[in-house]
Amino acid sequence: MMAVPLTAPRTEPHAVDNSRVHNSRVDNSRLDSSPADDSLSVWPASARPAPHGDVTVAGVALTEIADRFGTPAYVLDEGEVRRRCRQYRQAFPDSDVLYAAKAFLCRAMANWVEDEGLGLDVCSAGELELAVIAGFPPERIVLHGNAKSPQDLDAALRLGVGRIVVDSAGEIARLAANVADGTRQKVMVRVVPGLAAGSHAALRTGTEDQKFGLSITDGSAQHAVTRILEQPRLELVGLHCHLGSQITTAKPYLLAVRRMVGLMARIRDQHGVALPQLDLGGGHAVAYRPGEEAPDIATLGARIRAELTAGCLAAGLPEPRLAIEPGRAIAGPAGVALYRVLAVKHTGHHTFVAVDGGMSDNPRPALYGVRYAPRVVGRPVTATTTVTVVGRHCEAGDVIAADVPLPADTRPGDLLAVPVAGAYHLSMASGYNLVGRPPVVAVDKGRARLLIRRESLADIRNRDVGL
């Protein structure tokens, strides 16, 4: 079996950035031309302080975006997305870099990552069809998910995705039965390597006794491999694992490589098959606040590739083509959320700053306790005080940022910007309180354009078709 690269770039519209290979503290992917203002260290590399307390991203003032498109709104720096894509391709040469669409997907995002030579990792028929409608080549798409619906599998087979990741034993026969006569669908097996990694229990997907994958320990992974090899309509091309999210060090990935190579060696010994691909998933951390840890991607890539080479050499295996699936690390730092302050409330021991969005457009603080570093923009800031930024929804847990410094005179009408908002914000948005989801505005080279319009009250009303 020969591995078919998923990431042959369509074009090379931008030069590769070779300027940042350094310490793993803070946002290690910033350009050398970044501003000295440490408070912008986790912002897009194009962010600059501007007069009157404003901030520009890709040459566009945030106050201008708020005035033009309203708030809440999401700002996405196209150049930052593309730069991070190129950084991954440089750090993982001769590998398949697949953007994890679950972090954030729209048609423009699909075009950007395709332009930069990445493949795509999708989890549903919705993500898959949106990408294909946008022109993304289906053969460079991988579908996975722990509970794929019949619609998911039908769409994958109909549109011709490059790989389907098998996540349960029952999926094997179901998938094989739907493959057209005379054809074969390439598949991988999602393996649970038995490793705990990730910043929160809900984000650890490489451990035993959770919903994802098939265990090495209890033999489920090995059994799935045997069953797939018996299916004439399925072609087993590799193994897949995903350890979790917000992983700050290389160690879990190196351990995963060892366990996956060990399993590949056992498959070779039992079945006489040397699998040509190994997908290590994603989960690479980003810094949400200045001073937080994030892995250096160039160093991470070098260490993973060295471990894979050494392990295969020791096991007498041909080295499989490596695949990785970064999502947050590409989209997250490219995004900024904008809110207007609606109210300021002083209680006995706390000051609450309430804004016009909240858990309907960013549930992550409530789900995972994520901490952000919001900033008032559009006016000068002098003395600060500690406040808690909350949303407008009917939940005490609707908190955007607890115990953060904001101006002591923060008042209704102020514009609040929250960096590192490009991943798992709008993609996880809900319709709670029927508020409507915010728009997404792309910025690039001094221009702003709308990618996703605001969800209106008419949109919400028109979905309700019965009395």
Each residue of 344-382: pLDDT tens digit? 999 888 999 999 999 999 999 888 888 999 999 999 988
Each residue of 374-403: pLDDT tens digit? 999 999 988 999 999 999 999 989 999 999
Each residue of 113-147: pLDDT tens digit? 999 999 999 999 999 999 999 999 999 999 998 88
DSSP state of 58: T
Residue position matching structure tokens 């040459």:
59
Position 99 scores a pLDDT of 98
Q: How confident is the model at residue 208 (pLDDT cuts 50, 70, 90)?
A: low
Please tell me the number of Cα atoms within 13 Å of 446 on its side-chain side: 0
Residue 41 CB: number of other CB atoms within 10 A? 22
- The burial class, CB within 10 Å (0-12 / 13-18 / 19+), for 71 is buried
For CATH 2.40.37.10, the residue range(s) in the chain are: 38-76+333-459
Q: How confident is the model at residue 9 (pLDDT cuts 50, 70, 90)?
A: very low
Mean pLDDT of 313-335: 97
State how far the alpha carbon of 170 is from the alpha carbons of 205, 213, 292, in Å: 20, 12, 42
| Contact of 359 with 424, CB cutoff 8 Å | no
Residues in contact with 147: Cβ distance below 8 Å, sequence separation at least 6, in sequence order: 167, 168, 211
- The burial class, CB within 10 Å (0-12 / 13-18 / 19+), for 86 is buried
SS3 341: strand
Which fold would CATH assign to domain 38-76+333-459?
Lyase, Ornithine Decarboxylase; Chain A, domain 1 (2.40.37)
Position 147 scores a pLDDT of 85
How far apart (Å, rounded) are the C-alpha atoms in residues 376 and 52?
Answer: 11
DSSP state of 254: H
DSSP state of 216: S
Mean pLDDT of 15-25: 31
The one-letter amino acid at 320: P
241 carries an active-site annotation: no
Class of domain 77-332: alpha beta
pTM, two decimals, is 0.89
How many residues make up the chain in this entry?
A: 467
Determine which one of 85, 106, 241, 394 is catalytic: 394
For CATH 3.20.20.10, the residue range(s) in the chain are: 77-332
Structure tokens at 283: 């989960």
